[in-house]
């Protein structure tokens, strides 16, 4: 179906760094911004020192076309992701070059 756009596509992410003060949120913001620009319906959970925010439900995960983990710790609730294909991206990479990261994943999935 050549006419398909990213409009209908869903992207979910999970970000967590060791201290949960800065990188978690920078990465989440970078991902949200880049994904929105590309037309995705995006939701990013953060597990930071202020707790779990924007928690992904099993429906969110099941409906996602792309699942990204950008974590430096073992986050809580990993069982939710069992059986799904996960793209693991380094926090710093995601902060620095979110668009490039997404493009690489899209290419890998044959979106384009």
State the minimum distance, in angstroms, from the CB of residue 93 to other proteins.
12
Q: Is 29 in the site for other proteins (CB under 8 A)?
A: yes
Q: Is 96 in the site for other proteins (CB under 8 A)?
A: yes
Angle at CA of residue 31, ends 26 and 36, nearest 5°: 130
Question: 46: which residues sit within 8 A by CB, 6+ positions away?
Answer: 15, 16, 24, 25, 28, 52, 53, 54
State the minimum distance, in angstroms, from the CB of residue 49 to other proteins.
5
The residues binding other proteins (CB under 8 A) are 17-26, 28-30, 33, 46, 48-51, 53, 72, 92, 95-96
């Amino acid at each position: 179906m050549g006419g398909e756009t990213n409009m209908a596509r869903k992207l979910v992410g999970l970000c967590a760094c060791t201290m949960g003060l800065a990188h978690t949120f920078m990465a989440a913001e970078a991902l949200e911004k880049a994904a929105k620009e590309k037309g995705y319906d995006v939701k990013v959970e953060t597990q930071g020192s202020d707790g779990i925010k924007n928690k992904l439900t099993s429906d969110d995960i099941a409906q996602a076309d792309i699942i990204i983990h950008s974590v430096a710790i073992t986050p809580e609730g990993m069982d939710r992701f069992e059986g799904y294909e996960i793209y693991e991206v380094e926090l710093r990479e995601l902060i620095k070059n979110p668009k490039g990261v997404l493009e690489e994943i899209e290419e890998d999935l044959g979106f384009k």
